Amino acid sequence: MTATLGYVTKHENGSFSGELLTFDGPRAIAATPVGPKRSPAHPDYRLTHRGVEVGAGWNNTNQEGRPYVSFNIAHPELGPRAFKVNLGRAPDQDDDSVYAMIWNEG
């Protein structure tokens, strides 16, 4: 099953902004690049909602060699589990800067 949990737009400075869709309504989110990493395990992005960190993101490469971004999102209001999402092409979208946040069960 594929579920879209929201949409984000990539900006020229490498950041993303958009909305995480929840049962309580949309939540404004922003993903900001963290800069140079000291370790490959460290995140490439910090994900925030109203200035509070709610997750982290990593640059990845799929099996075809194309880059994508994945996020882990966690906050008590969202429940006891972290959500894992991958950014992918938004359906019926002609703007290459808009991405769907696709739920990743893995």
78 close to 22: Cβ distance less than 8 angstroms: yes
The Cα–Cα gap between 17 and 93 comes to: 16
Q: Say what the pLDDT of residue 1 is.
A: 52
Domain boundaries, the chain: 4-103
Which residues touch 37 (CB under 8 Å, ≥6 apart)?
43, 44
Q: What is the pLDDT of residues 59-70, one digit of tens each?
A: 999 999 999 999
Average pLDDT, the chain: 89
* Burial of 25: CB neighbours in 10 Å, binned 0-12, 13-18, 19+: exposed
Q: Does this model's pTM top 0.85?
A: yes
What is the SS3 assignment for 100?
strand
The β-bridge partners of 29 are 18
